A and B are shown apart, each in its own frame.
Chain A
Amino acid sequence: MADEIKLTLSRYNPDKDGEYTTQTYTIPYHNDWSILDALNHIKAELDGSISYRWSCRMAVCGSCGMMVNGTPRLTCSTYLNEFYPGEISLEPLANFPVVRDLVVDISDFMAKLTSIKPWIIRKNKKDEVDVSSEYLQTPAQMTVYRQQSLCINCTLCYAACPVYGLHPEFIGPAVIALGYRYNNDSRDEGKEERRKVLANEAGVWKCTVVGDCTEVCPKHVDPSAAIQRTKVDSAISWFFSKLTGRGE
């Protein structure tokens, strides 16, 4: 018998029975297949009814995150050979409501993403559309925010974060990292506007430094460091605002 591998998928369809169950598929084992390849094989050959998201299959669009044997991973760049001859269980990303099978509802994340004002804010609004010349920014100034600009919004860090699971109001790792990215961009002047979102109960102070967000990040964005640095920054500016008598 040819080599085979078992994949157990979470199933949920609110139209049908609305039960959250699992279904196991046995497929031929290919040493060079990603888990996404395996899912596409199941969908095309065995069961057209399974639903999951995917697009670029090169780890940059951020669509195909799932819990692979309990850990949030991008399925396009996670291979069967990591688990073979063991079995693989696929669940929708943890901490998000399940829409259908392996598809989760990320609208909460999308709203939080907007709330951090992830765009260049200038005191003089005309700067934003002045195309006569670029803002100058040296390579050294760029290094300061570069790493945090690499987030692909795959939301794996939300699935890894127990704080987000227990306290859904937490704005979460990726959004804080994005706030950090803009705050530390030499072209930006919007730090004060973002402080309201970053430096409060649902912001950085909710984080208890589990650190798993950084562990699971496929792009090495290190949201955990961004959060802790923002804490330091917000503590210092709070201290100075008290010292100088100027309010928050």
Chain B
Amino acid sequence: MNIPSAEVTKTYRRSIPNTWWLKKSSYVLFMLRELSSVFVALYALCLLSLVYAVSQGPESYAAWVAGSQSGWMILLHVVMGLFVLYHTVTWFRISGRIFGREGSGALSPAAVTALNYVIWIVISLGVMYIILS
């Protein structure tokens, strides 16, 4: 189907300021979530460097542990931890929306999200058990 291409009238286009994402809390939260992926990546690098240190022997591991005890590193880990947590929470919520369905005979979005949390906690406990035992 084609719409006749008439000579069209002049429209007004509103520009979007760079601060658009400060206008609404949902936009701010969205930007924070986007930002959180940087910290998720950073944390992954931290873990990789730890694995690398372990592979290089006890001394290098001890050095790594010593290095991570500085105030700055602890602060960085707290910040990374918060962002990763936020990232996880939003991801669980979205996965509920993707895989959940309203109506009988299907898992509701809330149930799918809850299931995510349950699996998360179980795996975490498992990992904790392995480390601590």
Contacts and interface: CB of A to CB of B under 8 A. Distances in A.
Q: Answer whether A and B touch in the complex at a CB cut-off of 8 Å.
A: yes
B26 A97 contact: no
Nearest to A220: B102
Contacts of A120: none
A172 to B, nearest CB: 16
A224 interface: yes
Contacts of A225: 97-98, 109
A210 B98 contact: no
B13 A110 contact: no
A98 interface: yes
Contact of A228 (B13, B21, B34, B98): B98
Interface in A138-161: 140, 143, 147
Given A110-B3, A143-B103, A208-B30, A228 B94 contact: yes
A14 B9 contact: yes
A196 B13 CA distance: 30
A210 B26 contact: yes
Binding site of B, secondary structure by majority: helix, strand, loop or mixed?
A: loop
B91 to A, nearest CB: 10
A222 interface: yes
Contacts of B16: 162, 165-166
A224 B11 contact: no
A53 interface: no
A114 B2 CA distance: 10
B1 A229 contact: no
Contacts of B11: 14, 97-99, 105
Residue of B1, B9, B12, B97 ringed by the most chain A CB atoms within 10 A: B12
Interface in B1-52: 1, 3, 8-14, 16, 20-21, 23-24, 26-27, 30, 34
A212 B26 contact: yes
Given A94-B14, A228-B98, A229-B98, A162 B34 contact: no
B1 to A, nearest CB: 6
Interface string B98-133: 100111010001000000000000000000000000
A133 interface: no
Nearest to B33: A209
B112 to A, nearest CB: 11
Given A114-B1, A162-B21, A98 B97 contact: no
Interface string A194-228: 00000000000000111110010000001011001
Contacts of A212: 24, 26-27
Given A147-B102, A165-B20, 5 more contacts: A12-B12, A98-B13, A114-B1, A210-B27, A212-B26
Interface of A: 12, 14, 18, 20, 70, 94, 97-99, 105, 107, 110, 114, 140, 143, 147, 162, 165-166, 208-212, 215, 222, 224-225, 228-229, 232
